[in-house]
Amino acid sequence: MLERRKSDRPVQAKATSEQSQAARSSSREAKHKTSRFFTLGKLAAGSILLAGFSLLYRTGLYGSGSLPSTYALCSATRPAIYTADSGNTVSQCLLVRGSRILHTGSLDEVKRFWDSNSSVAHDQEMQSVLKVPLAMRYVPPNAIVVPGMSDSHGHILEYGASRLLPLEGSKDSRAAVDRVRDYIIAHPDILNDTSRYIEGWGWDHTVWPVEEFPSYRELEGDAIVRGRPIVLQSKDGHAQWVSKALLEQMLPLPDSVDGGIIIRDKDGNATGVFLDKAQDLIKKPPLTDVDRLLRFKLTVEDALSKGLTSLHDAGFDPTSLQFFRSQAELGNLPIRIYGMRYFNENVEYWGNQATKIIDHNRLTSRSVKIYADGALRSGGAALFEPYTDNPESSGFMRTDPSVLYEFIPRFMKDGWQVNTHAIGDRANSIVLDAIESAVPNGPDDTVGTSLRPRIEHAQIMRPKDAARLAKLGGQLPFITVIASVQPTHAVSDMWYAQERLGPERVKNLYAFRTIIDSGARVALGSDFPVEDMNPLAGFHAAITRLSPDGRSPHGPNGWFPEQRLTRVEALRGFTIDPAYASFSEGDLGTLEPGKVADYVVLSQDIMTVAVDKILETKVIATVIDGEVAFGTL
C-alpha cells in the first residue's frame, strides 16, 4: 500500500464550476538501419528527407523484401491459420495473390482450387498466373498465423517522443530527474546549450513511495538540469511537470483553468505540474516535419516488430493531420493509420465543411476525438461520488456537458464517427446521454446508414450504463456504440484502484465481461505510450487479468477474474473488432477470400499455449498488402 501524506497535499486551483460542484523488441539490423537514417535525416533538408524515406520503405527497411506475386502460406502438418472469420475457422493454408487473399483451406483444398481455376479464369492474366506451379511458403512447426493486429487507441507521435527520453519505471521523482540529467550528459549539443528544449515522457507518481506530484524545485536541485526549459509528460498523458525556466515563461498564471488544474503548494504558488486542459498553458516550440518524421519512424519500428499492421491515433491536431496526409501523398506510410481529428471547442465548427479521408494510401480520417473528463491516475476522472482517497474531489469534466450535448449530435449528423474519451462513471453516463440524444428522429436525420460512435476507455461504467451501450443499438439500429478499451490499463491500475474508488465502485472498473455480456461491441488497444503497445501484452492482460509476471491483488486467478475475456474474444478484439470500429471490416480484420493480405506469423500458438508462456511469443513476420513489412518469411 502506498503511503499518502494527505496533510501535505498541494492546494489545487479550481478546475471548473463542474468540479466545484462535484469536487522493444525489433531486429538488430532494423535498429541499425533506423539509427543510421535518423542521423542522415538531421543533416538533410526536409523535402529530401521526406522523399528519401518513401524509397526506403519501398525497399524493405524493416522486412525481408518481396514475396512471389502469388503464393500459398501453409502449415505443413496442422491447421495453424486463425482466420477470425464469423465461425473462427482455423485453416491450414492461405492463398495470396498480390495484396489480396484468394482462398483458404487445407493444403489439398488450396491445390484443388488452384488447379480447377486455372482453366476457367476469366481474366487472361489470371489464367497465366494459375498455369504456373504454385509457389509455397511454410511457417515453422510451432508457429501460427493470425490476421494483422490493430491497436484501437494510441498516440503515434507521442510514442515516438516517449522513446527519446523515457521516464517510465523511475522509482521516485529523484530517479526521474537523474534520467533527465543522464540524457543531457549523453547529448553534448544539449549539454552545451542550456536554451535547448527538453521533453520526456512516462513519470508515474502513483508508484512512488510517497504518492504526490513532483515540483519544479526537484529539477532545480540538480546542477546539470537546473535553468533549462524542460517539460516531462506523465505516464497517463494527463499531467505535465515543467522546470522553473518554463514556469517563468508562463507567468502570470490564471487563478483557474476550465477543464484543468494548476497544482499549487500550501502558499498558493504553482509547483510546476499542470493537469488536463491546464497543460495548454505550457509554451512549447512548434514541431517541424523532420521532428514528426523521426518520431513516426520510432513508432513504426516498434509497431511492425510487434505484429501491428494498423494503428488508431486518438487525436490528430491540424498540423499532425497535415503531416500524415503529406506522408500518404508521398506513399510513406508503412502501416495503416486511422486518425481521429482533435476537437477544439474554441475553433469554429468544421464538421460540415472538412473532407473525410477514406483509405487513401493507408490513411483514413473520418472521426473526431472529444475529451469528456480527465484520467483516473491523476484524479481527473469525473465520478458521481467523491474519490475514496480524496473526499474533497469527484474529479471534473474536461469538457462541459453542454458542449458534448451540442457537438456530439452535430458531428454525427454530418457523418463523422465521434470518439469520446470518458473515464469516470459520471463522464461515461453523460457521453451516453449525448449519443442517445444525437438522432432523436431516426436514420433520416443522419448521413449514411450506420453510425459507430466510440467511447474511448469506458473505464468506470455502472452496470446500467454498460447495458445502455447495447440498448442504444437496439433502440436505434443504425447506431452501434463501441467501447474502445485497453486491457493493459487494468493490470496497471489494479494495484491502486480500490484505494482510490473503494471496494464496491471498483467492481465497475475495467468490467470488460460485463460490457460484452450486455451485447455491446468492444475494440482493444493499449493507449501507447501510456502502456506497452505490444498487442500480446494486451491479449495476456485480457484473458488473465494478471501482471506480466503473473500477479494480481486477488491472487493467481486474476483481478476480478469474472471479467476475463476468452482467447477468441481477445484475438477478435485486436483484429476484426478494431476493423469494425474503423469501418474497414470489408477489407481488414479476418483472413478470408477477397480481403487484404495483412497477417502476422507468431512463433507459438497463443490460442493454446500456457498463459505464462504467452509473452514469450515472438513475431516472425508482419505482412501488409501481401508483402513482408517486418521479419522474414
Measured CA to CA, the distance from residue 349 to residue 410 in angstroms comes to: 9
Residue 531 lies in a domain: no
Between these two residues, 129 and 539, which has the higher pLDDT value? 539
Is the pLDDT assigned to residue 567 strictly greater than 70?
yes
So what's the pLDDT on residue 130? 56
- Expressed in angstroms, the distance from the first to the final Cα of the chain is 48
126 in a structural domain: no
How confident is the prediction for the chain on average, in pLDDT? 87
Is residue 239 in a domain? yes
Does 201 map to a domain? yes
- Per-residue pLDDT averaged across 137-161, rounded? 96
Q: What is the 3-state secondary structure (H, E, C) of 122-174?
A: CCHHHHHHHCCCCEEEECCCCCEEEECEEEEEECHHHHHHHHHCECCCCCCHH
- More confident of the two residues 580 and 46: 580
Residue count of the chain, please give it.
Answer: 633
Rounded mean pLDDT of 77-94?
97
Mean pLDDT value across residues 152-165: 95
Range(s) of the domain holding residue 178? 6-23+154-281
pLDDT of residue 114: 82
pLDDT in tens, 252-273: 999 999 989 999 999 999 999 9
pLDDT at 281 over 90: yes
Do the domain assignments include residue 260?
A: yes
Can you tell me the mean pLDDT for 446-474? 83
Contact predicate 309/148, CB 8 Å? yes
Residue among 232, 245, 235 at smallest CA distance from 273: 232
CATH of the domain at 168: 3.10.310.70
Burial class for 330, CB neighbours closer than 10 Å (0-12, 13-18, 19+):
middle
Mean pLDDT value of segment 588-593: 98
45-49, 402-406, 509-513: range with lowest mean pLDDT: 45-49
Query: How many domains, in total, are found in the chain?
Result: 1
Report residue 515's pLDDT band, with 50, 70 and 90 as the boundaries. Answer: very high
